[in-house]
Amino acid sequence: MRKGALPRELDLRGLAAREASISGVAAITDLGRLMSAGVGLVAPASAAFEFRRDEEGRYIVEAQITAEVVLECQRCLGEMTQVLETRTVMACIWDDEDAAQLPSSYEPLIVQETANLSDIVEEELLLAIPASPMHAEDCITDAQRMALGNEEGCIESEGRKESPFAVLAKLKS
C-alpha cells in the first residue's frame, strides 16, 4: 500500500456513508502545534482511517496513528525517543450539545462540512504524549546524584539500601 501524504479537506460524513478507508503520513511541517509544544518527529507519523456509519446512523471515524517522537526526559533533561500509538473511535458531530448525547464508547469529533486529517493526527498525538516522559533506564548522571545528596549516591554504590525503620530503631534505644 502506498503511503502518501494525508489529504487535506475531506467530507468525513460522505466518506463514512461510502465506508471508505484512507492511509497516509503526516510530516512535522503539517503538525504546527506539535512543533510548538517542543515535540519532534523521527519520521513522518503514519495514520490509517476507516469511515463508517453505526446502527444509530452516526458517522464514525476510526483512527490508528503511530509516530516516533523526540521528547525531553524529565529526569535528565536530555532528548529521548518514544513511540506513540493511538487507536480511537470518534463520532462526527456538529457542536458540543451533540457531544453530550454520544455514548461513552465514542470520542466526539466536532467537524463542519470538511475536515483536515492532519489536524486529527496532531490532536491524537498531543493527547498521547506522556505528562512526564522519562527514559526507561536510569539516566541520572553522577553529577545529578551528587546534587541530590551524597547519602543517596553512597547507598547505591554500596549496593544495599538502609531500612526505612532503622531511624525508628535508633530513636527507641
65 phi and psi angles, rounded to 5 deg? -125, 135
* Alpha helix segments (H runs only) across 12-93: 12-17, 32-36
How far is residue 66's CA from residue 2's CA, in Å, rounded to a whole number? 16
168 band by pLDDT with thresholds 50, 70 and 90: confident
The residue with cell 515535540 is: 39
How far is residue 80's CA from residue 66's CA, in Å, rounded to a whole number? 17
Q: Are residues 73 and 153 in the same domain?
A: no
Cβ-based burial of 70 (10 A; exposed 0-12, middle 13-18, buried ≥19): middle
Q: Say which residue, 111 or 64, is predicted with more confidence.
A: 64
Residue 2 belongs to a domain:
no
66 phi and psi angles, rounded to 5 deg? -135, 135
Domain that includes residue 155, residue range: 140-173
Residue 4 belongs to a domain:
no
Q: Are residues 26 and 107 in the same domain?
A: yes
Per-residue pLDDT for 35 more than 90?
Answer: no
141 band by pLDDT with thresholds 50, 70 and 90: low
